[in-house]
Structure 1
Amino acid sequence: MLTLNISDADIILANYERIHNPIRSIRIRMDALYAVSQGYSRSQAAAQSGVCRNSVTTYVKSYNKGGLEALKTFKYKGAISVLAADRMAIEEMFRLRPPRSCKEAAAMIRELTGQELTIQQVGRFMHSIGMQPRKMGHVPAKADADKQQQFVARQLGPLMEKAQAGQCHLFFMDAAHFMLAPFVGLIWCFARMFVKAASGRNRINVLGALNLVTRKMETLINTTYINAETVAELLNQIAAKFKGLPIYMVLDNARYQHCDYVKQLA
């Protein structure tokens, strides 16, 4: 009968690698191995990790023969093994110049290494090193990274520690504006078609303050506007509910949140 002969130290490492390793296939192997180490049968470990029972058997045999490093070794030939020697250089290139598509990534890899790969191979390789297609975000044009870091180190960080120690209440305030409107898509047709939409503005405004410790949201909702008076109303609501400890509020950069009226009330 095949048994897993694994040390306590390797169990800890396998548990870490199954979550944090950047290569998906290694995470799967470590997940299956960890499940077996916790008393799961190979069939149960296979179902949990999304692989077949024979794969789990192979993982156990590989570990018994070569330890965790054996599970991190790929013996098949493909994009991952072909590019293994250039992996670090490719990662560095992609961090400096993220590709917009697999086609562009294939061209970049060809230019760097001389290897000609298919779009599918490039996609699998990028997934294997921890990359995913992600929608880009944006930051305010006037954002100053140095000042933000100073704010976190000198003001926000100490406040967060005080809040987590139960010495104060810390909230993060911002507003969201929801508009009732249809999301339109593409359709095959002979002429452009239209769907009925709500007339008028139909906007719902939500001013919220998130409690750092409890992760609960204090809200104020209306269908008109969010202004200084709305902020004052929410501040009064929070002050009445959270008595006995100092209250700190991290505000949005909107002017109505930083006006003299709000500051005097605070």
Structure 2
Amino acid sequence: MLKINFVEEDIKKLHYERYHHPHPLVQKKMEAIYLKSQGVTHKDICRLCQISKTTLTKYIRQYQTGRVEELTKIEYKGQTSKLNQYSRQIEEYFKIHPASSVAAASDVIEKITGIKRSPTQIREFMKRIGLRCLKVGYVPGKSLEPERIKEVEVYKIEKLEPLLEQAIKGEKAVYFVDAAHFVHRAYLGFLWCFVRTFICSPSGRRRFNVLGAINAVTKEIITVTNETYINAESVCELLIKIADLGLSIPSVLILDNARYQKCKLVSEKAEALGIELCYLPAYSPQLNLIERLWKFVRNECLYSKYYENFADFKAEISTCIGTANTDRKEKLDSLLTLNFQSFAKVQILTV
């Protein structure tokens, strides 16, 4: 049996590195030599570490040569993937035609290169060339027309950003306004579970309508709710609630072009209350901050959750909105930053 005279300092290092070293192979080396330092037989070390006697002897020789530092060296460097020579060709293809799954990518790569690899190898290769599995986003089709993109960018730079700068300085109170219609139905999400899980689905015949306004800076949320329809009268009610706050600075509402928001009744009411209405360009939901709030509400209390009674459904949504800026403030602040998506330089899936 190979004998080693261990020093206490090395034993402490071996004990620590067998759990904390980032590379699993080095952890195994440290474990084997640590067991050796504790007087465990070679036979038992091989059994516990699931290594051969030859491998254990190699580890011991390494330790004898350079002690603990020598054990951290990784000699095996692997073989160069044959797919590497086709990297540029594969990259160019996936830039135009993103793959929906590893299996689909594997089929494409085999057609391009004639090389077949396992899904695990394909996944690692895709990561190596910079591909990531990202959720596809969607926008109204007309918002991607070149003229529309230019119009939205001009609006953002010349109108929206100056307004927000005034809001940050405390010169104006800027609110983003929109309505959400929460249908009493099943909202399917993802769960970490051992077997696929199912939830009951209500009929979907009833809905809870929320017209909301969120302060761009304070994230204060003001709402008008009903179970019928959001209309011009609902918008006027929201205007009155904002006016009743008694703010000492002018209020500005940023809205989309829904007919019930852009009508004579609403404009006259806003003028009477001294509230400025600022309408977004058509097909630009990405500029409306409150859209993120509605997504937040669905994630927090609707996806993969079942509400048998419509009253419970409404109550959960109302509680989520009402406590978003207090109990959930950290999440909300992270989500509602004043950064807005631009479509001037994005990849568009055309097929």
Deviation at 1:230? 0.6
Whichever residue aligns with residue 211 of structure 2, its letter is L
Whichever residue aligns with residue 262 of structure 1, its letter is V
Kindly provide the CA deviation profile for residues 30-73 of structure 1, in whole angstroms up to 9, marking residues without a partner as x.
xxxxxxxxxxx979977xx9x86956x99xx8xx99xxxxxxxx
3-state SS, counterpart of residue 164 of structure 2: helix
Distance 2:20 2:174 in 1: 43
Kindly provide the CA deviation profile for residues 173-225 of structure 1, in whole angstroms up to 9, marking residues without a partner as x.
1111112124699xxxxxxxxx7845x83211111122221233222221121
Distance 1:246 1:53 in 2: 65
Distance 1:110 1:96 in 2: 17
Whichever residue aligns with residue 207 of structure 2, its letter is R
Partner of 1:110: 110
Distance 2:109 2:139 in 1: 30
Partner of 2:49: none
Distance 2:234 2:266 in 1: 10
Is the aligned partner of 1:208 residue 2:212? yes
Structure 1 unaligned runs (5+)? 3-40, 66-73, 186-194
Partner of 2:258: 254
Q: 1:83 to 1:217 in 2, by over 3 A?
A: farther
Larger radius of gyration: 2
Q: How many equivalent pairs are there?
A: 200
Is the aligned partner of 1:149 residue 2:153? yes
User: What is the TM-score with the length of structure 2 in the denominator?
Assistant: 0.47
Q: 1:90 to 1:211 in 2, by over 3 A?
A: farther
Q: 1:210 to 1:126 in 2, by over 3 A?
A: farther
Distance 1:133 1:153 in 2: 28
Q: 1:214 to 1:125 in 2, by over 3 A?
A: farther
3-state SS, counterpart of residue 173 of structure 1: strand
**Conserved? CA contact 2:209–2:228, under 8 Å:** yes
Distance 1:158 1:45 in 2: 51
Whichever residue aligns with residue 108 of structure 2, its letter is M
Whichever residue aligns with residue 240 of structure 2, its letter is N
Whichever residue aligns with residue 131 of structure 1, its letter is R
Distance 2:18 2:172 in 1: 50
Partner of 1:5: none
Partner of 1:165: 169
Distance 2:180 2:172 in 1: 26
- The equivalences for 1:50-69 within 5 A come to 54=26
Whichever residue aligns with residue 148 of structure 1, its letter is V
Which of 174, 181, 189 is matched with 1:177 structurally? 181
**Conserved? CA contact 2:185–2:201, under 8 Å:** no
3-state SS, counterpart of residue 170 of structure 1: strand
Q: 1:196 to 1:119 in 2, by over 3 A?
A: closer
Is the aligned partner of 1:244 residue 2:248? yes
**Conserved? CA contact 2:172–2:251, under 8 Å:** yes
Which of 235, 249, 252 is matched with 2:239 structurally? 235
Distance 2:90 2:258 in 1: 42
Q: 1:171 to 1:113 in 2, by over 3 A?
A: farther
Distance 2:127 2:89 in 1: 16
Deviation at 1:130? 4.9
Is the aligned partner of 1:226 residue 2:230? yes
Whichever residue aligns with residue 236 of structure 1, its letter is I
Q: 1:202 to 1:158 in 2, by over 3 A?
A: same
3-state SS, counterpart of residue 209 of structure 1: strand
**Conserved? CA contact 1:106–1:116, under 8 Å:** yes
Structure 2 unaligned runs (5+)? 1-8, 11-15, 31-68, 190-199, 271-351
Partner of 1:23: none
Distance 1:216 1:43 in 2: 51
**Conserved? CA contact 1:211–1:217, under 8 Å:** yes
Partner of 1:131: 132
Distance 2:169 2:100 in 1: 44
**Conserved? CA contact 1:42–1:53, under 8 Å:** no
